[in-house]
């Protein structure tokens, strides 16, 4: 009677591959709300509504924060076109680090945005230089994962009682470019464990798995002859 090869042994390479596809990180999560909008001095009658909409004599802006970025709605109330200068827009995280932003109309990358007179622009913006963004193969990394830690103790030591993040929108009319700074306050932080996909490890582990499976099955075939 020929000996049987344990199923677990045959599946070992696959299990090793699956185990290498993610890495465990620790993050601090909290709730955020739009606290204020800092505008240039020459802007007439700026105010923030109870629903979190910025309004002045020339436009309205609604910037809504989600896990992975911000929904943006700009309505141009005047007749002169308004240009969003994406190259000068930025996101500042809770550590005070400034990131460039990418903008996506319906989650597709755009090259520019001009809001014509009395028109509305809807878009989505997110940090463009997230450290692990490329490992998500096009999926956006949640904002609170930008600063992640290898251990729970390290994350807890860095957890703030309260903090803020901000988005700077650079808006141009004519030759003038003005910065509007939308500040979101955050509190009630909790330390949580997350599994971060690692695409680089996936490819390396897959190659190693194929090689080990080929060797294993060749040895198994030879053993059973």
Burial of 138 (0-12, 13-18, 19+ CB in 10 A): exposed
The pLDDT score that the predictor gives to residue 81 is 92
Question: How confident is the model over 145-169, as pLDDT tens digits?
Answer: 557 788 889 888 877 766 788 999 9
Query: Could you give the residue ranges of the DSSP H alpha helices within 31-162?
Result: 152-158
List of residues 6+ apart from 22 with CB closer than 8 A: 195, 196, 197, 198
Query: Hey, which of 16-30, 48-62, 137-151 has the most confident mean pLDDT?
Result: 48-62
What average pLDDT does the segment 180-191 reach? 86
For domain 30-147+160-189, give the CATH number.
2.60.40
Q: Is the pLDDT of residue 86 over 60?
A: yes
Tokens of 25: 């990180």
How many C-beta atoms lie closer than 10 Å to residue 225's C-beta? 5
**pLDDT exceeds cutoff 70 at 2:** no
Query: To 10 degrees, what angle do helices 7-19 and 199-224 make?
Result: 170
Predicted confidence (pLDDT) at residue 52 exceeds the cutoff of 50: yes
Q: Which two tokens stand for residue 116?
A: 């014509």
pLDDT digits (tens, 9 = 90+) for 101-128: 888 764 444 445 788 888 998 888 888 8
CA–CA separation, 89 and 91 (whole Å): 7
Tell me what percent of the residues of the chain surpass a pLDDT of 90. 31
Task: Give dist(CA 61, CA 51) in Å, integer.
Answer: 11
Question: Residue 160 and residue 74: Cα distance in Å, rounded?
Answer: 32
Strand partners, 29: 190
Among residues 69, 49, 54, 28, the alpha carbon closest in space to that of 187 is found at 28
Domain ranges of the chain: 30-147+160-189
């Amino acid at each position: 009677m020929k000996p049987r090869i344990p199923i677990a042994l045959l599946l070992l390479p696959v299990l090793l591959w699956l185990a290498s596809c993610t890495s465990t990180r620790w993050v601090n999560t909290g709730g955020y709300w739009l606290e204020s909008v800092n505008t240039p001095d020459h802007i007439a009658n700026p105010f923030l509504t109870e629903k979190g909409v910025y309004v002045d004599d020339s436009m309205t802006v609604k910037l809504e924060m989600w896990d992975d970025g911000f929904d943006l709605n700009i309505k141009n109330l005047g007749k002169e076109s308004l240009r969003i200068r994406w190259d000068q827009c930025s996101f500042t995280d809770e550590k005070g680090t400034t990131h460039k932003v990418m903008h996506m109309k319906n989650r597709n990358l755009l090259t520019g945005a001009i809001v014509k007179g009395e028109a509305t622009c809807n878009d989505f913006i997110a940090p463009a230089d997230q450290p692990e963004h490329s490992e998500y193969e096009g999926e956006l990394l949640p904002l609170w994962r930008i600063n992640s830690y290898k251990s729970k103790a390290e994350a807890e030591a860095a957890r703030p009682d309260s903090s803020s993040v901000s988005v700077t929108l650079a808006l141009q009319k004519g030759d003038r470019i003005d910065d509007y700074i939308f500040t979101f306050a955050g509190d009630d932080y909790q330390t949580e464990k997350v599994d971060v996909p690692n695409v680089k490890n996936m490819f390396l582990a897959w190659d190693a798995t194929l090689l080990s499976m080929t060797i294993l099955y060749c040895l198994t075939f030879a053993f059973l002859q």
